[in-house]
Chain A
Amino acid sequence: MNYEKVYLCYQIPEWVCVENYKKLLMCTSDQIILSLKDCRVEIEGKHLQIKYYSKNEMRIEGCIETISYHK
């Protein structure tokens, strides 16, 4: 699969929008972990909800506290 550039836009603490993600690694109401092309994104907060989920795009809403990147 050819992954293009990853876009991550957010408005803390309301929402985060991720485009061209690779895989969903973990999904709970407190933490969502996404696998990107060459890194991993951890979104932590409370009452997290996937407002929209499709092949290329995902929008997460809730009380977002941190967004961290891991190689």
Chain B
Amino acid sequence: MAEDAVKAFFYGSLTIEIVTEELERFLNICSYNDLILWDLQAEDKSTKFCVYKKDFEKYEEIGKKTSCRLHIIKENGWPYLFRKIKARKSFFFGIFLGIFLIIAASQCIWRVEIYGNFYYGEDTIRRFLRTEGINSPCMKNQINCLSLAADIRKEFPRVVWVSVKRKGAYLTVELKENELIEEKSEETNLAAADLVSEYNGKVVSIVTRNGTAQVKTGDLCSKGQIMISGMIPLVNEASEVYDYEKTKADGDVFLQYKIYYYNEIPRIQEIKVIKKEQKSVSVFLGHHLCGMFPQKWFDRSQFILVNENTKWGMKIHSFTYEKEKNICSEKEIKAMAVEGINRELARIRKKGVQILKNDVTIDINDASCISKGTFTVIGKAGVPKAITAEPVLDGKDIMNEQ
């Protein structure tokens, strides 16, 4: 039965409706002529059945003999389907192209995922994979997971276990690094250091995590002064210092200090006057692609990013201009000075510094506009400085004498 269905599909079949009172005679003549039919369904006045496309002419002849009328109800199978496909070429071409693209795309690795790396950065591993010819996208058959895993272990000595596997369009690289080596190396890298101030200011708060605090809240602190010492004194029962333990000082020290600001803006400004404006051209390039071209190409162009999320749509607004000297009014120059101060404040805030006071004054004269003054801020201070001087061991001498 399945064979017949396949045969009917490839040769083409017709569903015929016949209206006759001599159905039995019609069927017997068909049988006598060695014709095959199937799915015969006799109803009150008509009968429906299926025949092969190639036999239809013979049925018509028999129909004439037995005075029956044959109506084609439905056309099935490949020959009719092919006719429909020919009529809708573009649609089916699109389907086949889509299938082809899916198959072609499924032959590639589109994404490389790296897990379990702590010591080695993802960029480092990706750079190594690129040297091995594994980029996204790359062909799946180019990747030999076993040899790649061996190469990773060879290249990165800290990696003790590696698994490279292909999962669909993803290449997953799982690593396990030797944590013991890392801990040891951290210990060796840990050098004894003091925490020194990089500003002149007043200590607002101090929290010591490691080391000995040398300043307290409210103390004035000068640049380069030790705030937390890396020398921890060891005392004996008589509360005498007999030795020092060197450590890396650590803690949070917040200082109130001043940041000096000076900005001079000349009143005569050069402005670009657009002489001839050309048409805007939309170019769909990623900005990293634009970065490949020399900067001078874009000197007289303005880029407008169309979509900031995708960063792909880009419009080039091209124009020619001439530079002209313009004397700014007091209002304009003051606005520029205020803008400069605000920009500086924003830059300071970005560092995570709290601004307490703004003492910047704007002085406008005939030649320029000078903004100068200080910002009083509270911010985290302290940079590590290696301990070079050896401590005086008075306590140890005492112990030796005893």
Contact = CB atoms under 8 A, between A and B. Distances in A.
Contacts, number: 47
A9 interface: no
Contacts of B34: 54-55
A50 B31 contact: no
Interface in A2-44: 23-29
B28 A24 contact: yes
Given A50-B40, A51-B38, A27 B31 contact: no
A42 to B, nearest CB: 14
A28 B42 CA distance: 5
A27 B43 contact: no
Contact of B24 (A24, A48, A49): A24
B24 A25 contact: yes
19 contacts: A24-B27, A27-B23, A27-B24, A27-B27, A27-B42, A27-B47, A29-B42, A29-B43, A49-B39, A50-B37, A50-B38, A51-B39, A51-B40, A52-B4, A53-B31, A54-B31, A54-B34, A55-B31, A55-B34
Interface of B: 1, 4, 23-24, 27-28, 30-32, 34, 36-43, 47, 49
A30 to B, nearest CB: 9
**10 nearest A-B pairs in the assembled complex, by CB-CB distance:** A50-B40, A54-B36, A52-B38, A53-B37, A55-B34, A24-B27, A29-B42, A49-B41, A24-B24, A55-B31
Contacts of A51: 38-40
A26 B41 contact: no
Given A55-B31, A55-B32, A55-B34, A50 B49 contact: yes
